[in-house]
Chains A and B, each alone.
Chain A
């Protein structure tokens, strides 16, 4: 028995002395390998008498188990030391900067278009569109601007060179031609908004030769001016995200509506900030009215049967008011500093569930 104890002492000492993985493996082969010291001893069990085997069997198995365990423990300890050493060598300065990730922005005009679409689609409006280059019929005549009437001079129109037949195309001065295009191709009931680019030959601090409008059109057999008022008041509250927005309707003149009105909203200016729903001042934000009988007739609709309202508003101006953007001309300058300052995160897609804006 002391023989086995000596062997165990010897093997455990060798395991302890091994200081790398290869040395541990050498000990394992020498002890537990096919021809290892323990294995050789195990082979002698077969030749023993039952009594001897009864004594030596458990002793040798015990030896094998303990040596194997010592080897495993040593291996794990060595791995742990090696890992620690590797980790220690792999230290980096995590305060170093990452490669820059550039963030793009959405232009305020696009953002506000989408805000308006979110509001009006909840009220059942579809989104219609039409061409920027228009003819006289759709931009003026069908909208009840008689030829040579001074009302046409309210619109500083961009014209193209005359064609051989003396007709000339123009850049639409408002999104209203799409009213005509829609009514001529679609049977009422109609409930649409029309976002788009519009053009007037005018340029100063508050006018740019190109700007954006959203037009609205509702045609059916019962919509009256009270619906117009209700719709636009609801829009103003939703758009400015202020519950107590005050609105005022004033009679006005547009050739394509009768009666016609302008809607003002109440505001107060505090420093550079414009606060909607406070104060005593009024600001005009849109024009509207009941679609003129002549416009309905031009589109083949009987004005005694069909009726409805139309409205139009300047998108750029509403964006300026809502977000406190000072100068209209900057909208179209593509100045990176401006785009990054006033632009919107592409993840902020306007919808009514999350609120239109953050």
Chain B
């Protein structure tokens, strides 16, 4: 919302400076976004006087002028027909920027005659459309004065944010009221004088609603003004509108715009001769259409309030009128409508039609119902002043809705909610200045003015008082300390995330943060397909982009796409991870947290050689780093080979605790990469942090005693021939199970297939570390353990000791 300083001063008598006004606006909650002073744009232009003008020796239409300026006498060549001796003009020196022609002036030679600077037209200074000649300033202007002073351009424009709770500040008078209450001056908004009708209003008006919808438009007032002469509005009105960025159209339209900004009171003026029969408000009917003032055709329906006559819909009530009944330069008789439209219905219609108008903006936030009739009178006055004519009596259909809101308010509430001490006298003074009526019973009864539909409770009045007193006066208090030292604040789930994140970063992966939504086609590759996404309610109705329309069931597609984007920039050796939400449905319980990582591996060669490229076991290691950091009981962790379909079927696995799946890892399926247009191979893993069991809260921090044997451990190697489909993990587990007390470690160090090993079998070599506990083992005892190991392996896997 914009207004000029001089406009404000029509409502506020004040000596305050612009700076004070702006500062006070911010303090009372009217957030100033910009202050623009046209004077600053015009600072280069000053008054000059043409002393002498004669025809250019070589050009009929040019004149060579001697001009008195702030820089002394200058010779300026000018093409304007009105350039003549004796006039005061707008002088722009060499070096000045002339906005209207987008030129910075330099010394010039025009047809052989030197010219120092320029005499400007209004349009060249962007101060209007006048370009018939150079601007002529009043003769009493002094040479060297800023031109802005003589153009009425010394009027700063203030732009501020109107919050949805303050419809009254959509009018300049509302701003003035706040500033007056804050002590910046006196509110002097004039009360409109009623115009006595010269004749009865021949235009019939009506309201056609059922009882349950009549609040759509409870009051519809209007009057005729006959014999008007429409045309350009007076200069003061054009200047006002232009200053706040509105284009003057004609007097009648300009008056309605002015009313919207001066008093937050939209109204509509019809060409009365184009109306047929009764003009009335009613609900629309599906299929009805009208051509609106924005040149577009709109269709009404049964939820919308329309204004109509016998010809049909003329406009949407409180939103936008129609082209057909609009006023033109030829209009002679007009009907002024001033009505009250229900905010919610107006908002709904506005959203449905997409029309954004000043009228809708005001009605949907709520206009002052008490100002319906005074608003009509003010508009009448303006039309009569600007366009002449004579007014009929006022017609009113329906009743002005009564606004009755009384808040029971103990003034102690200010201290309870803000800690500020404001005397009851000061509270009353502020409320009164803002238009509230205070009745000092116990508690106070405070009547809310009709232009403040936002106020309905005690806290609202606390805000009114404290914002005028100023938030600077709030005390600074510290929340009471509950405990001398605060205990830990994170839930187990939060801690798991933090630890997984730092462990993965320490392990060499960089953390990314990517959108929670992703390309639907990509998402479908990492779940049970597009129908599953739809059935689970994971498709957005209004995505920001068509390729960001599905909530991600997995972080993998986002990270894989990120790998490719980096590779496209030449970065094809990269490991990324993200610890963040994934979505299995639209219910709160269906959101999970995943720790997910990917690697695209093209490591540089190294002089020590060796295979550095990431493979499925690197992905497994990444996954286990995250699992361990997040508190998984790693000794119970199992690996199975039934990873989901988006992994390579032979190079992927699932990490689980029995039936509880903690995550999966492996090489991403080549078909998936192809569908995503990604050059692989890509290794990835995904850990479901919420599935990790929370360790039991221990009663004590005491650790179990160290059980370190004094005896030397000894190691034995075994090679087993097993069927090639026997899982390595099963074999290691069998060995460990053979002697739980003394087998301290089992490491699998070789797998061999080929000569010496039968077809379909493999030889697996392991090293077993045996830690004697109570006494040194005899050869017989060691032999017994070995036998148990061999037996256990045979029982579990069918493997035999390699000969």
Residues of A within 8 A of B (CB): 96-97, 99-107, 109-110, 114, 117, 121-127, 129-133, 147-151, 153-154, 158-163, 168-169, 171, 191, 197, 199, 201-203, 209-210, 218, 223-227, 229-231, 233-234, 248-253, 258-262, 290, 292-294, 303, 307, 331-337, 339-340, 343, 346-347, 349
A158 in complex: contacting residue of B418, B463, B540, CB < 8 Å: B540
Contacting residues of chain B (561-575) with chain A, CB-CB under 8 angstroms: 562, 565-566, 569, 571, 574-575
Which stretch, B162-170, B213-221, B748-756, touches the partner chain A? B162-170
Chain B residues with CB below 8 A from A340, complex form: 510
Chain B residues with CB below 8 A from A197, complex form: 516, 580-581
B29 in complex: contacting residue of A124, A250, A349, CB < 8 Å: A250
> Given that A249-B474, A290-B417 are contacting pairs, would A334 and B514 also be in contact in the complex, using a CB cutoff of 8 Å?
yes
Chain A residues with CB below 8 A from B486, complex form: 121-124
Once the chains bind, are B501 and A252 in contact (CB under 8 Å)? no
Which stretch, B72-80, B601-609, B645-653, touches the partner chain A? B601-609
Once the chains bind, are B474 and A229 in contact (CB under 8 Å)? yes
Question: B696 at interface (Cβ–Cβ under 8 A)?
Answer: no
Contacting residues of chain B (325-355) with chain A, CB-CB under 8 angstroms: 344, 347-348, 351
Expressed in whole angstroms, the Cα–Cα distance for A131 and B582 within the complex equals: 11
Chain A residues with CB below 8 A from B579, complex form: 110
Chain A residues with CB below 8 A from B516, complex form: 132, 171, 197, 199, 210
Once the chains bind, are A337 and B483 in contact (CB under 8 Å)? no
**8 A-B residue pairings within 8 Å (CB atoms):** A133-B586, A154-B164, A224-B419, A259-B467, A290-B417, A294-B457, A336-B571, A336-B576
Determine the interface band of chain B, counting residues with CB < 8 A from chain A: 35 or more
Q: A-side binding surface: helix, strand, loop or mixed? A: mixed
A127 in complex: contacting residue of B478, B491, B542, B610, CB < 8 Å: B491
Question: B721 at interface (Cβ–Cβ under 8 A)?
Answer: no
Question: B507 at interface (Cβ–Cβ under 8 A)?
Answer: yes
**Inter-chain CB contacts under 8 Å: number:** 261
Once the chains bind, are A260 and B482 in contact (CB under 8 Å)? no
Once the chains bind, are A150 and B508 in contact (CB under 8 Å)? no
Once the chains bind, are B606 and A100 in contact (CB under 8 Å)? yes
Once the chains bind, are B459 and A249 in contact (CB under 8 Å)? no
Expressed in whole angstroms, the Cα–Cα distance for A259 and B422 within the complex equals: 15
A234 in complex: contacting residue of B28, B478, B505, B534, CB < 8 Å: B478
A224 in complex: contacting residue of B416, B457, B503, B580, CB < 8 Å: B416
Once the chains bind, are B479 and A339 in contact (CB under 8 Å)? no
Once the chains bind, are A161 and B502 in contact (CB under 8 Å)? no
Expressed in whole angstroms, the Cα–Cα distance for A141 and B215 within the complex equals: 23
Q: Mark B478-504, 1 if CB is under 8 A from A, else 0.
A: 110111001011110010001001111
Expressed in whole angstroms, the Cα–Cα distance for A170 and B472 within the complex equals: 38
Question: B511 at interface (Cβ–Cβ under 8 A)?
Answer: yes
> Given that A334-B576, A339-B510 are contacting pairs, would A160 and B419 also be in contact in the complex, using a CB cutoff of 8 Å?
no
Beta-carbon nearest neighbor of B588 in chain A: A131
A125 in complex: contacting residue of B164, B347, B489, CB < 8 Å: B489
Expressed in whole angstroms, the Cα–Cα distance for A264 and B482 within the complex equals: 29
Once the chains bind, are B515 and A102 in contact (CB under 8 Å)? no
Once the chains bind, are B463 and A233 in contact (CB under 8 Å)? no
Chain B residues with CB below 8 A from A148, complex form: 344, 347-348, 351
Expressed in whole angstroms, the Cα–Cα distance for A125 and B483 within the complex equals: 12
Question: B713 at interface (Cβ–Cβ under 8 A)?
Answer: no
Contacting residues of chain B (99-153) with chain A, CB-CB under 8 angstroms: none
Once the chains bind, are B510 and A129 in contact (CB under 8 Å)? no
Which stretch, B287-295, B543-551, B669-677, B678-686, touches the partner chain A? B543-551
Once the chains bind, are A250 and B31 in contact (CB under 8 Å)? yes
In the A-B complex, the 6 residue pairs with the smallest Cβ-Cβ separation, listed nearest first, are: A251-B29, A226-B419, A259-B463, A253-B163, A334-B562, A104-B505
